[in-house]
Amino acid sequence: MNRRTFIQTTGTAAAVAVTSTIQAADKKRERANKGLIFKSTKFGGRPNVKRMQELKALGFDGIEGSAPGMDVGGLRKACEEVGLPMHGVVYNKHWNKRLSSPDKAVRDEGRTGLEAAIRESKDVGGSSVLLVPGAVRGPNETHEHVWERSITEIRKVIPLASKLGIHVLIETVWNGFCEKPEQFRDYLDEINNPWVQAYYDIGNMQKFAPSHEWIRILGKRNVKLDVKDWGGPNKKFCPLGQGDVEWDKVREELAKISFSGWVTREGNDGGADKTAALMDELLDL
């Protein structure tokens, strides 16, 4: 029985309990992605030194913030003190101030907020902003509307992003947009700029196609990854290793594109210690 099958067929508590046993048995197995893939978790916009110290002790390499509106100075100081960098931020206005809105004033506000998030990411020492480009909502926001409107607005922020060295990384998250990997690939290719790439969410899009297929089709466009699992008997988000994600195939596809970068857990496995162990096992860290 392989590790994926074992984890899937046990309950949450049992899967976590045996993680250390699995790792002990595989102690001599070479961790192919150690030093290449960096483990992170979502954090927020305010410093918490104690929490950051706990994450570092568990082996996390960094954290990801939420912008704009962060305590940039406090976070930067805390990151330096703990030795735990904030590698990037999630743009926290992309749902309410959609770049795909039929209202130009809303699109303008969304773009201005995105620019603020780019600046905050730079100031806190990050390298990216995660962006959901819009959503299909009603007759005035079709797939084509989201495609065209969001690209227009994203292109306006590229000069700032390139000047500051911050990637705008696009994520699709059940927003009715680019639900096929080929669509997502073509969307990025139409933007056609090295500063706008993919922040692929391993669990979110498992609902539409196997995650390893998304990784294969997006290829080198994958700059960062969100880490979730989805599926199982109830077809919902679940602890890592208990869904339908075929982690062995995910690792294979990541190896084929020589992926090296940040992976960030969004979700709950029953504690950060369990998340750290599961990420190490499933991503070969």
Distance between CA atoms of residues 64 and 54, nearest Å: 15
* Cβ–Cβ < 8 Å for 121, 127: yes
- The per-residue b/e assignment along 181-214, b for 16 or more CB within 10 angstroms, e otherwise, is beebbebbeebeeebbbbbbbbbbbbeeebbbbb
For the chain, helix, strand, coil in percent to 5 are 45, 20, 35
Q: What is the pLDDT of residue 29?
A: 60
Pairing of strands 167-170, 128-131: parallel
Q: What is the pLDDT of residue 184?
A: 98
Distance between CA atoms of residues 195 and 128, nearest Å: 9
CA distances from 13 to 21, 59, 235, 248 (A): 14, 21, 19, 22
- Paired strand residues for 88: 64
Per-residue pLDDT of the chain (285 residues; tens, 9 = 90+): 444 443 444 444 434 443 444 444 455 567 899 999 999 999 999 999 999 999 999 999 999 999 999 999 999 999 999 999 999 999 999 999 999 999 999 999 999 999 999 999 999 999 999 999 999 998 889 999 999 999 999 999 999 999 999 999 999 999 999 999 999 999 999 999 999 999 999 999 999 999 999 999 999 999 999 999 999 998 999 999 999 999 999 999 999 999 999 999 999 999 999 999 999 999 999
Residue 102: cis peptide before it, omega within 30 degrees of 0: no
Task: Using alpha carbons, select from 81, 82, 47, 87 the residue that is nearest to residue 64.
Answer: 87
Q: What is the pLDDT of residue 180?
A: 97
Q: How much is the pTM?
A: 0.90
What are the chain's domains? 34-283 (3.20.20.150)
* Cβ–Cβ < 8 Å for 280, 58: no
* Cβ–Cβ < 8 Å for 168, 118: yes
